[in-house]
Amino acid sequence: MSAPVQLRNLLFVLNPISGDIDKAQLEGTIRSYCQERGRNAAFFHTTGEDDLARLQEHLQQVAYDAVFAAGGDGTVSLVAESLVNGSLPLGIIPLGSGNGLSKDLGIPQQVEEALRLTWDFEVLTMDTIRVGGKFSAHLADLGFNALVVERFDQGDVRGPGAYIRIATQEYINYEPEQYHIKTDLEEWEGPAFMLTIANANTFGSNVVINPEGELDDGQFEICLINPFPNAAAPGILYNLYTSGFDSSEYTRRLCCSRATITVPGKNRVLAQVDGEPLYLPTPVEVEILPQSLHVLTPKKQSPDAAAPGEQ
């Protein structure tokens, strides 16, 4: 997608409960930033009730040059789904606990630095995925991490510390599932501690589950962590935080554009899709939606390049 010379009319979709930032103050910051640079900022607030349908209807009624998701992974996924297969680009102002997709895109994690995308940007046209009929722009899981995300979602405490505490508690008694996976290229069957459907690289916790994945290559990866002895856990964890997923004898990746995942003996399975825990009917059908979403990313600059002027 060739980027417009300027983005003038911008919609910011805000989740009132994500992050620790006062939303009234945030709106003032965004409005002032945009006014100073000749941009018009409008706001849409999510309520948890029919947000996707309401947002899609709003976008049909009002013309914008870009739509920014100001929130966590759930807000980003919501806005991305409203824009999929369309012409409007997605911008991200990361405010959540994880902010996984924004990190994979190289978007700054501070509000005013991320707002630079309103005038200084490149446009990447990336793939998205359907997982059991659900839209995903980033990562989905079956198995251990899906369970941890569900427990985390049910709790009152946010942040990496709470996630680690829950993961440690659940690890003690966790029993891996059996899976049968048939892709357009191969077939695999066996137990897995964790199964990640990855369109990207990194969880919001900075765990690199898919170090070689590309957002725009027309395929996704199924990343498997096989059952492992307790003694192997520190090494696996180290690999996940140092982009060494493929280094372990307990890990494997299946690259594909379509897959069917069956869990023998179960007609539904716990999953997390872009940070949202839910149950999916089995078998779980997964397919890539190639080149289906335009996203605003920071301009790539050589170390010697001069800072660009505002448009």
With a cut of 90, say whether residue 156 has pLDDT above it.
no
Exposed e or buried b for every residue in 211-249, given b needs 16+ CB within 10 A? bebebebebbbbbbbbebeeeeeeebeebbeeeebeebe
Asked if residue 302 is part of any domain, the answer here is no
pLDDT score for 24: 75
pLDDT over 90, % of the chain: 74
Percent of the chain with pLDDT over 70: 91
What tens digit of pLDDT does each residue of 175-223 get? 999 999 999 999 999 999 999 999 999 987 888 999 989 999 999 999 9
Which pLDDT belongs to residue 157? 65
Q: Evaluate whether residue 310 is within a structural domain.
A: no
Structure tokens at 310: 């505002």
CATH number at residue 55: 3.40.50.10330
Domain interval for residue 24: 9-126+292-297
Averaged pLDDT, 71-87: 95
pLDDT of the residue at 17: 63
Measured CA to CA, the distance from residue 94 to residue 270 in angstroms comes to 26
Give the pLDDT confidence score for residue 61 in this predicted structure.
Answer: 96
Are 90 and 112 contacting, i.e. CB atoms less than 8 angstroms apart?
A: no
- Read off the pLDDT of each residue in 113-136 and give the average, rounded to a whole number: 96
CATH code of 177's domain? 2.60.200.40
- Is residue 304 domain-resident? no
Continuous H helices in the chain: 23-36, 51-61, 73-83, 100-104, 111-114, 144-154, 160-171, 233-241
Query: Are residue 106 and residue 168 in the same domain, yes or no?
Result: no
- How much is the average pLDDT of 163-186? 90
What sign results for the dihedral spanned by CA atoms 274, 277, 278, 283? positive
Domain count within the chain: 2
User: Are 98 and 174 in the same domain?
Assistant: no
Average confidence (pLDDT) over 90-99:
90
Q: Average per-residue pLDDT in the chain?
A: 90
Mean local confidence (pLDDT), 235-257: 93
pTM: 0.88
| Mean per-residue pLDDT, 14-31 | 77
Helix (H, G, I), strand (E, B) or coil at 20: coil
